[in-house]
Structure formats: structure tokens, C-alpha cells
Amino acid sequence: MSIMNSNENNIHSQVGYLNNIEGIKPFSDRIKEIGFNSLKSNPTITTLQVNVGKVCNLMCKHCHVEAGPHRTESMTKDTMSQCLSILMKNPIPILDITGGAPELNPNLSWFIKEAIKVGCHVIVRTNLTVLRQYEYTNMPEFYADNNVELVSSLPYYSEKDTDRQRGEGVFLNSIAVLSRLNELGYGQRDGSLRLNLVFNPGGAFLPPSQDTIEGDFRRILSKQYGISFNNLYTITNVPVGRFLTFLYDSKNLHRYMERLTSSFNSSTISRVMCRDQISVGWDGQLYDCDFNQMLGLNCTPAHISEFSLESFKEREILLGNHCYACTAGAGSSCGGVTSS
């Protein structure tokens, strides 16, 4: 029986279960051993990461958001306007847009154009396949025209492995979109249009060396499909949402948590992404990171309407055992590894 109920994202059971796994030392105790009585954000906030909704055209097995076509949560234009107000009034240079599939929010294009007017560098995290749907086939050109950096999830460089994780047809659709993006100038070594790929492991194990697998992706995608890209980021699967359900139902949770804790790398603490970003939920709620967001672990103040940059500088970050995922091995963040 799953630890999730029929409401899918039972955040209270997830938090409670993760923090009470037998034999797993609480993350907050582990960092005390290396001199951190608490973990605080940096004095400078560089990124506002905004989740514009949980609606998605895919239902990936590892998705911590538990996104899908059946979800209805979508950020309103009013909440986006509040995000823009924060970016206008505060020196936060990067707007990082995620989902779900961000393209399925009807106000995405407006949001991006307004953020660019404010002077932000805009990143969109896309699953690629949504750009094959008729309504969104113009989005690659829109992204290129507005110099939007794309971070594109591609589980593997083979059709079989990708489709097993994300669904039939995902790989070839992704390749078609990557080819179109390359035609528009994305992913070229000397170009300004950045196209980065993301690799998540397909099971209960840590990602391989980022440099090694980037080389594999680059060689095979170029040789077989003529695809080029700028960087590949490896991201450790965080035991939240559907991935937590998978671990529990497959009886891999304890072993996976042991793997994360035994791979704890103290040098990653200084560069975990929660220290220099703020995460905004689709409803305007504020969090330290996207994973805390899915667990309902709010910051203080809790809503964007109460935002004050001063209150978020050097704030105490809410921790839990899911944080081991960002500090295992070479570390993990939305921008890949955090330690050599």
C-alpha cells in the first residue's frame, strides 16, 4: 500500500515519513557535525524560481511535482504580476520558470516579455514534447526571439530508456524539438541561445559523473541525430512526490536513503541552491526551494504579497531528510552538480 492517498500529493505523510526512517540520521543533526547549527541563505539572492503550475502533458514516474494532464493548478496573471513587482524592486537578476509544463500556462509569453522588460535573464524549464503540440509549435521561435535560456529534460540518449520513464513517443518527439531549436540557433558553441539538457537517473541510484555522461550524450546525439547542446546537468532524484511513492512501493526507500546519507558530501553545503534563491508556488506561496514547495514547507513570510527581500537574506532554511539528495556525491541542484 502506498504512503500516498488518493489525493496524490499528501504532503504531511511525505514529510513525516521521510523524517522518521529508522536508522537515518536527521539531516539537521548531520550538518551540525560539520559546524552548521542551522543552514542560512546567502546575503545575496540571485534567483526567483517560479512554478507556474502543475499542469503537464506528461506523467513522469520520477516527478516530484506529481504533474500531469489531470492537474488544474495554474498561476494567475495577478500572481505573476506580483512576481514581476518583486523583480522590478529588488536586485534579483534571474527568473527561473518551471512547472509542470510552463508552456501550458496561458500567460507564460506575457510573463516572459514583462520579465525581460524588467531586465531579468529568463530561464524556462521545458519537457520539449509539449512544443510538438499544435498550440505551442510557435514557442521555439518565441523563446529564440526573446533570448530565453532553455533547460530541457531528456532522461537518456536512447529511445527505449527515455520512453520507459516518460511514456511512448517521448524520445522521438524530444529529438524533433531539439532539432528545431538547433535550427533556430540554440545549443551552438559560440551562440548566445543557451540550450542545456537535464539527466535524472531512471531508478533508485545516484547519477553518474556529470562530465562523463555529458560526453556520452554529446557524442551519441551528435552522431545519430545531429543534435548539439551547451551543457548537460545531472540531477539527483529527490525522494518527494511520485519518486517517493516509487521508492516505497518498490521497497527501495530505505536503501536509497542509506545511499544518499552514505554519500553525504560536506563540501556541497556552501553551494546548495536554496541558499541563493527563493521559490514561488503557483498560488504565490513562498519556499526555500521547489522540493520544499512540494512538501508544503513554507518560508516566513509565507506569501508573495508579503515579500520583503531583507527578510529573505540570511534566513534560516527549513530542512528535512529529503535534503540529503542535494548533498550526496558531487551535489545536486537545478544547475547540476555543486562540487567537484
| pLDDT-based confidence at residue 276 (cuts at 50, 70, 90) | very high
SS3 (DSSP) at 235: coil
pLDDT in tens, 40-67: 999 999 999 999 999 999 999 889 999 9
Mean pLDDT score, 158-162: 91
Residue 272's closest CA among 205, 177, 336? Answer: 336
Mean pLDDT score, 167-191: 95
- Other residues' Cβ atoms within 10 Å of the Cβ of residue 211: 12
Residue 229's closest CA among 158, 169, 153? Answer: 153
Mean pLDDT score, 141-148: 99
Tell me which long-range contacts 215-218 makes (C-beta under 8 A, separation of at least 24).
216/157, 217/154, 217/157
Q: Does position 7 have pLDDT exceeding 50, yes or no?
A: no
Q: Does position 16 have pLDDT exceeding 90, yes or no?
A: no
- The size of the chain, in residues, is 340
Q: What was the pLDDT predicted at 6?
A: 37
Distance CA 194, CA 180 (A): 14
| pLDDT-based confidence at residue 165 (cuts at 50, 70, 90) | confident
- Compute the CA torsion angle 17, 19, 21, 23 (nearest 10 deg): 180
Between 269 and 340, whose confidence is greater?
Answer: 269
Question: Using an 8 Å Cβ cutoff, are 312 and 299 in contact?
Answer: yes
Between 215 and 9, whose confidence is greater?
Answer: 215
| pLDDT-based confidence at residue 340 (cuts at 50, 70, 90) | low
Q: Does position 191 have pLDDT exceeding 70, yes or no?
A: yes
336: left (phi over 0), alpha (psi -120 to 50) or beta: left
Mean pLDDT score, 268-287: 96
Q: What was the pLDDT predicted at 152?
A: 97
pTM of the model: 0.95
Return the sign of the alpha-carbon dihedral for residues 261, 263, 269, 275.
negative
Distance CA 159, CA 221 (A): 11
Q: What was the pLDDT predicted at 10?
A: 64
pLDDT in tens, 23-35: 999 999 999 999 9
Distance CA 121, CA 334 (A): 16
Q: What was the pLDDT predicted at 266?
A: 95
Between 167 and 290, whose confidence is greater?
Answer: 290
Q: Does position 11 have pLDDT exceeding 80, yes or no?
A: no
Residue with grid cell 540518449, as numbered in its chain: 157
Distance CA 205, CA 27 (A): 19
Distance CA 194, CA 229 (A): 8
Provide DSSP, 291-334. HHHHTT-EEEEEEGGG--HHHHTTPBPP--GGGGGGGBTT---T
Q: Does position 9 have pLDDT exceeding 50, yes or no?
A: no
By the 10 Å C-beta count (0-12 exposed, 13-18 middle, 19+ buried), 1 is classed as exposed
DSSP 340: -
Domains of the chain by start residue, with CATH = 44-243+273-312 (3.20.20.70)
Q: Tell me the C-alpha to C-alpha distance, in Å, between residue 268 and each of 18, 31, 337.
A: 21, 11, 9
Residue 340's closest CA among 171, 165, 210? Answer: 210
pLDDT in tens, 61-86: 889 999 999 999 999 999 999 999 99
Question: Using an 8 Å Cβ cutoff, are 129 and 96 in contact?
Answer: no
% of the chain exceeding 70 in pLDDT: 96
Return the sign of the alpha-carbon dihedral for residues 298, 300, 304, 305.
positive
Q: Inter-axis angle of helices 159-166 and 170-183, to 10 degrees?
A: 110
Mean pLDDT score, 157-182: 93
Q: What was the pLDDT predicted at 284?
A: 98
